[in-house]
Amino acid sequence: MTKKSVSADDLIAVVLKAIDDVKGLDIQLLDLREIENTVCDYFIVCSGTSNTHVNAISGIIQKKVGKTCQEKPWHVEGEAGGEWVLLDYVNIVVHVFQKHIREFYDIESLWGDAKITAIPAASN
């Protein structure tokens, strides 16, 4: 049995839905495809309110992507600290920050040439 290939759009949709399901904040999609020498095609950046919230966001992303897309992250960093968790799905890298850590590193400004799309929270 072969594993189906998942499109970037499908993976992004699952990640965004997972973040929204656990009330992740200030979700942004950075499209890096037009920038030379980038490590991936997209960044998804969001914030959580505490270590527990950051880890919950990271956990639900991994669970939903695994269940829906049969994909596991190639690499995960930061789960022990819960201030900045990075989920590397090769062409899509997800950054889940606590607000003060996100403000300190300011990834959105570092990648200022990227097309940045703010993702509104889904209405319940």
Cβ neighbours for 2, distance < 8 A, ≥ 6 positions apart: none
Residue 97 CA neighbour count, 13 Å, CB half? 19
Query: How many domains would you assign to the chain?
Result: 1
The pair of structure tokens assigned to 111 is 């990648």
Residue 124 lies in a domain: no
Residue 12 lies in a domain: yes
**H/E element, 28:** strand 25-31
Residue 41 lies in a domain: yes
The mean pLDDT value for 35-51 works out to 95
- What pLDDT does 17 receive? 97
**C-alpha dihedral sign at 76, 8, 40, 103:** negative
Residue 42 lies in a domain: yes
The mean pLDDT value for 67-77 works out to 95
The model's pTM: 0.92
Tell me the residue range of the domain where 111 lies.
8-119
The CATH number of residue 26's host domain is 3.30.460.10
- What pLDDT does 123 receive? 55
Residue 51 lies in a domain: yes
